[in-house]
Structure 1
Amino acid sequence: MEFHPQPTAGEAKPWAFPAPERGTLGNGLTVLRCHRPGQQVVAVELILDAPLNAEPEGLDGIATIMARALSEGTDKRSAEEFAAELERCGATLEAHADHPGVRVSLEVPVSRLPKALGLVAEALRAPAFLDGEIERLVRNRLDEIPHEMANPSRRGAKELYKELFPATLRISRPRQGTEETVSRIDSAAVRAFFETHVRPATATAVIVGDLTGVDLDAVLAETLGDWTGDTAERSTATAVSSDDTGRVVIVDRPGAVQTAILIGRVGADRHDRVWAAQVLGTYCLGGTLTSRLDRVLREEKGYTYGVRAFGHSLLSGPDGDGIALLGISGSVDTPNTGPALEDLWTVLRTLAAEGLTDAERDVAVQNLVGVAPLKYETAAAVAATLADQVEQNLPDDYQATLYRMLAEAGTVEATAATVSAFPVDRLVTVLVGDASQIAEPVRALGIGEVTVVTG
């Protein structure tokens, strides 16, 4: 039998995260453009300087309502007409609010880019914010809240932020507001928030795609360049304090057959020199099916479908100061909540005592760095990462530098960073489950004072 010859691998080509070209329009709008040959669907990310800590007192969630209302009509088009024009462009437009600010995301075929950018500019110049539309968005948001509270993972996250941060800080409260605060929002308040915080001089547009034959300067001048506003300074991040005293909070869900686990604390973010090693070590701890936590809790003990460790940047100041949420999350069956937590703490203590292995480090580097070109195949993925860098006050070449640092980080360095990130006596543990079954086994572990709250 004659077989075709086995294919051989070609010569590896060097790859680096794309470097954007930075510029500024006459109205003060910062523009990052990145030409990606072959990407016929262009991705645009607009970062608006409307952070959650700028929301008026008692109106938590107004940034979310404003973001959702941007595509609900302008002074020229109704909500239905605006949506129809977007559809004719073959475009998708989304917006959401988070702690750093509001993000507006557009994807559109390059041939329709001028028209779609014109619609975005129209929404930023003169959003309608009609009473009826705002009332509808408020009702929709109020309908979402009970569903979020019923979700164990979302409920656990809400409790963790409440535990970690003082009640006086906006970051301690739900990003999209509570029933009490959202119900107070009206069109006048939304318009006032928009007029106070949304302006081109403090905004950034990231544009990624195949720009061959596109006179982007002319397109921008005719669209986003027509957006006007004052030249107020960018907002500054509020100093954040946190309390990571080791303790356990159980959100009681009588009869729950599973316990949702969320363990966290605040630590170093992307501005810190330890971040690359921390990312590498955290991946070894709980980043994939072959990580230590999964190997013990899933493969050996069968407690869970999976446990993940992660680091997520929360807030970054202009001077390079910032914080990240460092966490471990997963779900286990109710009877094994105590044993699962005991084994989890054993994994952390073993890591501190014995460290990572070179083999673990090598696998993590391959998975984080080796597959990076696949992760950024689409224009949207590149644009989102560049927008993250803008929000976090990072240099334009940060992502490329990070991959180089990940490849260079050693096993000892990754171990030290991860042990520092997850000290066994400085972790806040939130459990969403049946307190009558899990409280006593958890108290017996001695991992911190146990408090039970209603679910």
Structure 2
Amino acid sequence: MTSLERPQVRPPAAWSFPDPVDTTLRNGIPLSVFHRPGQHVASVQVVIRLPATLEPADREGLATIVSRTMDEGTRSHTADEFAGLLDGSGIALAASQTLLGLTVQLEVATGALRPALELALECLSEPAFPEEEVSRHVAQRLSDIERELADPGSRAALEWIDAYYDPTARASRPVAGRTATVRAIDAAACRDFHAAHVTADGARVLVAGDLDAAEVHAAVDATLGTWSTTGTGSAGSGVLDLPRAGGDRVVFVHRPGSVQTQVQLGWGGPSRRVDGGWAPYPVLAYLVGGSPGARIDRVLREDKGYTYGFGAGFRPRGASGTFVAGGSVRGDVTAPAVELLWEVLDGVADGFTQEELRSGVDYVGMTAPGRYATADAVADEAAALALDGLDTGFVTDYLRDLRGLTADDLAQAWARWGRQPRTLVLVGDAEAHADAVRALGRSDVTVV
């Protein structure tokens, strides 16, 4: 019998984000095409740098309503006709607004790219904003607000941004608006805002799929390349994101009889342009709260059984960012769970072992090819970076830097961001548990 030598397992080769073919349309819009062999459903993203500070203060959420109603009828087609054209060609079209800008997304078979682009141009350049459709979406958003206030996780997130950010900052309020501001939105306001701000100025088009770059350029140039670059203009007001001054703060949202308490604890974090590079932060997030074996879950879930699971991570946003940890715990252990969470996060300053470093680096680096295996994942990442003023070389660079990370690098990155003033929001039975949280001595407790 012949014995075979056992093969040696070697580390995988370095992986890079797919390189785009970059060109410029006739109207000046940059176009990036990512060739993804075998991906016969193309993903198209039209990204417009449109910060939420451009909205009128008394109509916050206007950009969100505009994004949701641009395809609800145009000057050329009624809402039903437009929907029929999308369905007839198997085109999925959606649009959304974030704090930084507006994105129109298309998913379509590669063979139907041209008609999809024609419909995208139609909703971008000539939306009709019918009164009945705008009113319907306003009513739907008002219903969403009620649901968000009723859901503990959503309520904790809303209270957290209100408590963390300065009241003058747009980030302190929901991007999609509050009840009073959404109720003030009508079709005329949508038309005016669209005419002023939804133009090719500051736009970028990203296409991923099994497509020839030259053919894509021709199709996009013949459609979105004819889109006007001129708006009527209007200046925004206010600041995008600015933390409140002061120290730690705790807010307890009272829900009588609640058997669980939703917890959200966070503080300021880095932007993607942080000195020293972005590479340490995905690894830190994974080790602290990004996996079932992370430090928070090892204590609160596995050791104590207080929770089904917590999540934590860094959230870069333009010029700044945050670190947030969140999850729900049994109501009867609200105070000890908060104390343990605080202690776990304090303990991160003690550093990481080589085993932790290797597991975090391997997870972030080796799962990247899988995370970006599909055309839509590639286009989504490219769009998120474009809104932040970056290209996809950012991903390649930080994945390369991962390989050289040391435990000291992680410790230094955490030391820079890990002990800023903390904002803690709890949603649960304040009458039953607020005094115990107050007794921890972390901060005064404000009951909402």
TM over 0.5: yes
Which amino acid is 2:274 matched to? Answer: D
Aligned match of 1:342: 339
Let me know the Cα RMSD of the aligned residues: 2.3
Unaligned ranges ≥5, structure 1: 317-321
> Take 2:84 and 2:231, find their aligned partners in 1: how far apart are those partners?
33
Aligned match of 2:437: 442
Aligned match of 1:378: 374
Shift of the 68–6 alpha-carbon distance from structure 1 to 2, 3 Å rule, reads farther
Shift, 1:269, TM fit: 1.1
- The answer on whether the counterparts of 2:282 and 2:364 sit within 8 Å (CA) in structure 1 is no
Q: TM-score, normalised by structure 1?
A: 0.92
Which amino acid is 1:262 matched to? Answer: Q
> Take 2:428 and 2:109, find their aligned partners in 1: how far apart are those partners?
47
Which amino acid is 1:245 matched to? Answer: G
Aligned match of 1:319: none
- Equivalences for residues 83-94 of structure 1 within 5 A: 83-94=83-94
Aligned match of 2:97: 97
> Take 2:111 and 2:402, find their aligned partners in 1: how far apart are those partners?
38
> Percent identity between the aligned chains?
37
Aligned match of 2:316: 313
Aligned match of 2:242: 241
Shift, 1:221, TM fit: 2.2
Does residue 1:365 correspond to 2:361, yes or no? yes
Does residue 1:266 correspond to 2:268, yes or no? yes
Superposed CA deviations along residues 2-22 of structure 1, whole A, max 9, x for unmatched, are xxx999979945521112222
Aligned match of 1:430: 425
Aligned match of 1:409: 405
> Take 1:43 and 1:308, find their aligned partners in 2: how far apart are those partners?
29
- The answer on whether the counterparts of 1:356 and 1:415 sit within 8 Å (CA) in structure 2 is yes
- The answer on whether the counterparts of 2:253 and 2:427 sit within 8 Å (CA) in structure 1 is yes
> Take 2:86 and 2:320, find their aligned partners in 1: how far apart are those partners?
37
> Take 2:141 and 2:72, find their aligned partners in 1: how far apart are those partners?
15
Superposed CA deviations along residues 235-281 of structure 1, whole A, max 9, x for unmatched, are 89946421262121001111111000001112211110343213222
> Take 1:428 and 1:336, find their aligned partners in 2: how far apart are those partners?
20
Aligned match of 2:162: 162
> Take 1:41 and 1:8, find their aligned partners in 2: how far apart are those partners?
38
- The answer on whether the counterparts of 1:30 and 1:201 sit within 8 Å (CA) in structure 2 is no
Unaligned ranges ≥5, structure 2: none
> Take 1:196 and 1:285, find their aligned partners in 2: how far apart are those partners?
44
Aligned match of 1:355: 351
- The answer on whether the counterparts of 1:369 and 1:403 sit within 8 Å (CA) in structure 2 is yes
**Alignment partner of 1:299 out of 295, 298, 302:** 302
Aligned match of 1:35: 35
Superposed CA deviations along residues 188-243 of structure 1, whole A, max 9, x for unmatched, are 10011001111112211111111148612221122111211328999899464212
SS of the aligned residue for 2:389 comes to coil
- The answer on whether the counterparts of 1:293 and 1:344 sit within 8 Å (CA) in structure 2 is yes
> Take 2:102 and 2:402, find their aligned partners in 1: how far apart are those partners?
30
SS of the aligned residue for 1:58 comes to helix
Equivalences, count:
442
> Take 2:439 and 2:103, find their aligned partners in 1: how far apart are those partners?
45
**Alignment partner of 1:392 out of 363, 366, 388:** 388
Superposed CA deviations along residues 287-319 of structure 1, whole A, max 9, x for unmatched, are 1011111101100000001112111122x2xxx
Superposed CA deviations along residues 97-136 of structure 1, whole A, max 9, x for unmatched, are 1100111111100000011111001111211111111111
Q: TM-score, normalised by structure 2?
A: 0.94
Shift, 1:387, TM fit: 0.8
SS of the aligned residue for 2:306 comes to coil
> Take 1:87 and 1:160, find their aligned partners in 2: how far apart are those partners?
40
Which amino acid is 1:297 matched to? Answer: L
Runs (4+) of structure 1 exceeding 4 A deviation are 5-14, 231-237
- The answer on whether the counterparts of 1:49 and 1:198 sit within 8 Å (CA) in structure 2 is no
Superposed CA deviations along residues 55-114 of structure 1, whole A, max 9, x for unmatched, are 012001100100001111111111111111111221111111110011111110000001
Aligned match of 2:291: 288
Shift, 1:380, TM fit: 0.4
Shift of the 402–385 alpha-carbon distance from structure 1 to 2, 3 Å rule, reads same
Shift, 1:421, TM fit: 2.4
Shift, 1:447, TM fit: 1.3
SS of the aligned residue for 1:135 comes to helix
SS of the aligned residue for 2:76 comes to coil
Superposed CA deviations along residues 38-60 of structure 1, whole A, max 9, x for unmatched, are 11111011112322111012001
- The answer on whether the counterparts of 2:17 and 2:395 sit within 8 Å (CA) in structure 1 is yes
> Take 1:380 and 1:189, find their aligned partners in 2: how far apart are those partners?
32
Which amino acid is 2:15 matched to? Answer: W
- The answer on whether the counterparts of 2:314 and 2:321 sit within 8 Å (CA) in structure 1 is yes
> Take 2:120 and 2:405, find their aligned partners in 1: how far apart are those partners?
42
**Alignment partner of 1:251 out of 237, 249, 253:** 253
> Take 1:205 and 1:40, find their aligned partners in 2: how far apart are those partners?
19
- The answer on whether the counterparts of 1:202 and 1:231 sit within 8 Å (CA) in structure 2 is no
- Equivalences for residues 17-28 of structure 1 within 5 A: 17-28=17-28
- Equivalences for residues 146-295 of structure 1 within 5 A: 146-212=146-212, 215-230=215-230, 238=239, 240-243=241-244, 245-274=247-276, 275-295=278-298
